[in-house]
C-alpha cells in the first residue's frame, strides 16, 4: 500500500468517524510511512484507535474497506470497552475474543500466545477539559514516539511457547525500534486533518489486562469470560 492509497483510506476513515460522531487516532505503519523519511516497507493496513469505549461510536469491523487490495486501503479499527468487572481493557481489532466470549473458550491457547497479535499494550484517552471535534486525528511526532516507547517494553517481556507468536513479536520489536530511530518529516502539517499532542491525550500503558472483544459482531456478549 503506497502513500496515495493511504491518503485515500484516511479520507474514507474520516468520513466514517464523522458518521459515528467519533474521534479516531492514526497510528502504526501507515503513519510511519507518511511522515518518516526513511520508511521503506509498505503497510498492509491503516490502524485507527477509536477514542471512546462506547459501542455507538465504534464502526463495523472492516467498515470502509473494499476487500480487494487494488481498490483501496484496508482500515483496521481498534476499539476498547469498560465494565464494572473489567474497567481497563486492551484495545482490539479482532473477533477472536468475541468468539471466545460466546463459546467460553478464552483459555491459555488464546492468552497469552495470540493476544500480542490482536491487542494493544497501550490506550489513549482524551484528557478532561479538552474539547475536540469528531473526525480523524494525526499524532504529532512527539506523541507518536511516546506511544511507541510505551508499547515496546510490554512487547519485549511477553513470553510464549508458540513459534508463530514469538516470530511475530520479534518482527514487531524490530519495526518499532526502527521507527524510533528514524527522522520524521514535517509534511504532516499539510494533511487536512488536525494534529493532536501529548497535552490533549493521555497515553496509558497496559500489560496483562484482558482484551476488549470487538462489538457489533454476532459473537459479542458485552462481557469477557476467562477460564481459570
The pLDDT score that the predictor gives to residue 162 is 64
**Does 73 have pLDDT greater than 80?**
no
Q: Where are the domains of the chain?
A: 3-205
211 exposure class (CB count in 10 Å sphere: 0-12, 13-18, 19+)? buried
Map 67-97 to HEC letters.
Answer: CCCCCCCCEEEEECCCCCCCCCCECECCCHH
Q: CA quadruple 53, 58, 60, 64: dihedral positive or negative?
A: negative
Dihedral, CA of residue 144, residue 119, residue 49 and residue 76, to nearest 10: 110
Per-residue pLDDT tens over the stretch 124-168: 999 999 999 999 999 998 898 899 888 887 777 666 666 666 676
Could you give the 3-state DSSP secondary structure of residue 177?
helix
Amino acid at each position: 500500500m503506497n502513500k496515495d492509497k493511504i491518503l485515500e483510506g484516511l479520507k474514507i476513515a474520516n468520513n466514517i468517524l464523522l458518521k459515528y460522531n467519533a474521534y479516531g487516532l492514526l497510528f502504526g505503519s501507515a503513519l510511519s510511512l507518511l511522515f518518516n523519511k526513511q520508511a521503506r516497507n509498505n503497510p498492509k493496513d491503516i490502524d485507527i484507535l477509536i477514542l471512546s469505549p462506547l459501542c455507538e461510536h465504534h464502526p463495523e469491523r472492516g467498515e470502509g474497506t473494499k476487500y480487494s487490495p487494488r481498490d483501496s486501503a484496508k482500515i483496521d479499527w481498534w476499539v476498547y470497552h469498560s465494565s464494572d468487572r473489567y474497567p481497563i481493557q486492551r484495545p482490539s481489532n479482532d473477533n477472536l475474543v468475541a468468539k471466545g466470549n460466546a463459546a467460553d473458550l478464552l483459555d491459555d491457547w488464546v492468552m497469552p500466545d495470540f493476544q500480542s497479535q490482536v491487542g494493544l499494550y497501550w490506550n489513549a484517552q482524551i484528557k478532561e477539559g479538552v474539547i475536540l471535534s469528531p473526525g480523524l486525528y494525526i499524532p504529532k511526532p512527539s506523541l507518536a514516539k511516546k506511544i511507541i516507547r510505551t508499547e515496546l517494553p510490554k512487547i519485549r517481556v511477553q513470553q510464549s511457547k508458540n513459534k508463530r507468536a514469538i516470530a511475530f513479536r520479534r518482527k514487531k520489536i524490530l519495526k518499532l525500534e526502527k521507527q524510533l530511530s528514524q527522522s520524521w518529516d514535517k509534511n504532516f502539517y499539510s494533511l487536512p486533518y488536525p494534529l493532536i499532542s501529548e497535552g490533549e491525550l493521555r497515553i496509558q500503558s497496559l500489560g496483562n489486562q484482558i482484551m476488549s472483544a470487538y462489538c457489533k459482531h454476532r459473537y459479542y456478549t458485552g462481557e469477557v469470560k476467562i477460564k481459570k
